[in-house]
Structure 1
């Protein structure tokens, strides 16, 4: 009988639940886990804000990162692989390091504001292969559509060309004209009452900027900023890019 009692006692001890760790120890474990999760989250967000993030996740971003990382003021290439005589003509290159602001470097996300819905859409396209390469060239209006803002607000947002912003939050055309009034030929002169050229029609981020004025015969001889191309050359570059656009291989 004694032996049975002993066995019963051992079985009861084996069946009883393990003792819980002291409350202080459990809190310490939870705290350490929370710190690790926060550290990983902060690290990912810091990486997310760097230009390298775009090209590492979406491989079709490589040409865009390459134009961004080029040295300014030298011969280079655009996102389509075309030669550019002066990389200053690419806003992605020129805006990386600039004396116009107090920032030592302007990163991609400063202009291309991350919108969750847009990022989800892009992630789906990347996963399913539902995108074109090279990417089509969006207008400023298309770039800001996810934010629900007007195209010119891409350029005059806080910290950028806000000095050109009017009371309505858009580019003030009079301020724009005055900003280049010192030039022999003022490209921003508002002499066409009904012609509202969008900033992005001339200023290109990842290919040579285009002097749209050369599309009119009276301006064929106008001098252009270094590295810029005429409207005819710009049209040819874009036509060649569209002809070579294809869906990625699956």
Structure 2
């Protein structure tokens, strides 16, 4: 019985130690606004939510939080904490490229988007979601934490920088 009690105490101690260790992982590596206070590398992304010309702002206004797109699995959190502790992270962080299916979890389909942006043809001479490019991945144009890029400008010359809405570039 004494051996069982010692084993139980050892197991309890180990579980508590792991909880203390990993609680730091979860608080530092979670992608939310509280992370910016302890993790300078996330701060520009959190700040982008305040820029009304960026999609980060529009997503926040729609009630989304960082982790709605930047899902944090336990494996991801442990990995991010490890590279943070070693100083092996990129600054700025590399851009994530989500395929269109990810975006369509909220934005339905190209057909729906083409219908929603049909008025763009009057103002910009083109409906960007009704294109001869068929269906490029959303990230080809849309950025969330920095200005989006009008890829049509690569072939279709015009004074795009003056014609595009704020928050867009034509590089």
Give runs of aligned pairs for residues 1-250 of structure 1, distance below 5 A.
Answer: 51-68=32-49, 70=50, 72=52, 88=53, 90-98=54-62, 105-140=63-98, 151-157=99-105, 160-161=106-107, 164=108, 172-183=109-120, 184=122, 185-193=126-134, 196-216=135-155, 218-222=156-160, 223-230=163-170, 232=171
Unaligned residue ranges in structure 1 (runs of 5+): 1-40, 73-87, 99-104, 141-150, 165-171, 233-250
Inter-CA distance 206–49: structure 2 relative to 1 (3 Å threshold) = same
| Structure 2 gap segments, 5+ residues each | 1-22
Q: Secondary structure at the match of 2:82?
A: helix
- Give the TM-score of the pair, scaled to structure 2: 0.69
Of Structure 1 and Structure 2, which has the larger fraction of its residues in helix?
2
Q: Deviations over 1:64-115 (max 9, x none)?
A: 11112x252xxxxxxxxxxxxxxx2x111222123xxxxxx32111221222
Is the 2:30–2:77 Cα contact (8 Å) retained in structure 1? Answer: no
CA 66–224 in structure 1, closer or farther in 2 if over 3 Å, else same = same
Q: Normalized against structure 1, the TM-score is what? A: 0.49
Structure of larger gyration radius = 1
Q: Give 1:219 deviation, angstroms.
A: 4.2
The match for 2:18 is none
Cα RMSD of the aligned pairs, angstroms, is 2.8
**Partners of 1:178 and 1:191 in 2: how far apart?**
16
Q: 1:58 to 1:200 in 2, by over 3 A?
A: same
Q: Which residue of 2 aligns with 1:14?
A: none
